Amino acid sequence: MKLKPILALAFLLAFVQVQAQQLTPPDTLKTSGGPLLIQPITHGTLALTYKAKTIYVDPYGGADLFKGLPEPDLILITDIHGDHLDTATLGALNTEKVRLVVPRAVAEMLPEKYKQQLVILDNGGQSMQQGINILAMPMYNLPDTAGAFHPKGRGNGYVLQLGDKRVYISGDTEGIPEMRRLEDIDVAFVSMNLPYTMEVDQAADAVLEFQPKIVYPYHYRGQNGLSDVEKFKQLVGAKNKNIEVRLKEWYPNK
């Protein structure tokens, strides 16, 4: 009687489907190289799929959050804090053949087993991985002092060239001059949480200066709960209606 194995398989498939349904549905952006799938996951964690290659950014929160997604071909890590460098989540994912693009401070904290897989970039460094050009951007607090949560030079934001589209991932930063000088950004992920990064007013002011076509507020859970991303959207829209602010569910279990 094969009923029990069939029921077990049906249960497993249903379980995986439920897990996948917990994620916000992905957005699709047309590029010159084909569709780019943008998948919010949680907090500062997201996945990008382009030309059948999948990039995980700051995988965090446990491997269950990634069920239903393609396994990663490339992983970007921005900083040393546990909501960016999560070795438990990394260890639970299939990363055997994956390149990890990281700042030097992250490389120094990763277990030895990852050392041969690392691409270490300092601020301003570039690397071509999986046919994608990756530029490491500064990310830091203002003022840049020794006691800052994020001193200049330790972590990386990233700009990715995906076909004819440029995607900016801010990492944990304030509205720094390097962000404000960005040009031709099609999609931006911008952090906004106090006291670790910046308030929504500063984030809106910076976005209005570098004018991405689409911006996702992300990494917006702070010491006192979630930042007011609706206010951020209103501030941006009041001064530049050509910037599309996309609000997604980054904290489904808040």
> Does a structural domain hold residue 253?
no
> Does a structural domain hold residue 15?
no
How many domains, the chain? Answer: 1
Between CA 47 and CA 200 the distance in angstroms is 24
Are the C-beta atoms of 106 and 79 separated by less than 8 Å?
yes
User: What does the pLDDT read at residue 25?
Assistant: 92
**By CB neighbour count within 10 A (0-12 exposed, 13-18 middle, 19+ buried), where does 161 fall?**
middle
Tokens of 59: 């995988």
> Does a structural domain hold residue 9?
no
pLDDT digits (tens, 9 = 90+) for 221-231: 999 999 999 99
Q: Show the CA angle centred on residue 208, arms to residues 204 and 210, nearest 5°.
A: 120
CA dist list (Å): 160 to 36, 39, 50, 110, 112: 12, 15, 11, 23, 27
pLDDT digits (tens, 9 = 90+) for 6-33: 433 333 333 334 344 478 899 999 999 9
- Cis ω before 72 (30° cut-off from 0): no
User: What does the pLDDT read at residue 254?
Assistant: 63
**What is the domain-level CATH number for residue 171?**
3.60.15.10
User: What does the pLDDT read at residue 20?
Assistant: 43
> Does a structural domain hold residue 216?
yes
Range of the domain at 138: 25-243
Own/partner contacts of 24-32, CB < 8 Å, gap of 24 or more, are 24/248, 24/249, 24/250, 24/252, 27/246, 29/165, 29/186, 29/187, 29/214, 31/162, 31/163, 31/164, 31/165, 32/163, 32/164, 32/165
> Does a structural domain hold residue 6?
no
DSSP 81-110: STTT--HHHHHHS--TT-EEEE-HHHHHHS
Between CA 135 and CA 152 the distance in angstroms is 16
Between CA 185 and CA 166 the distance in angstroms is 5
> Does a structural domain hold residue 16?
no
- Residue 187 three-state SS: strand
Between CA 39 and CA 43 the distance in angstroms is 12
Tokens of 112: 């030895």
Segments of the chain scoring below 70 in pLDDT: 1-21, 254
> Does a structural domain hold residue 34?
yes
> Does a structural domain hold residue 232?
yes
Own/partner contacts of 227-231, CB < 8 Å, gap of 24 or more, are 227/192, 227/193, 227/194, 227/199, 227/200, 228/200, 229/192, 229/200, 231/200
User: What does the pLDDT read at residue 18?
Assistant: 39
Which residues are CB-contacts of 213 (< 8 A; sequence separation ≥ 6)? 185, 186, 187, 242, 243, 244
First to last CA, the chain: 45
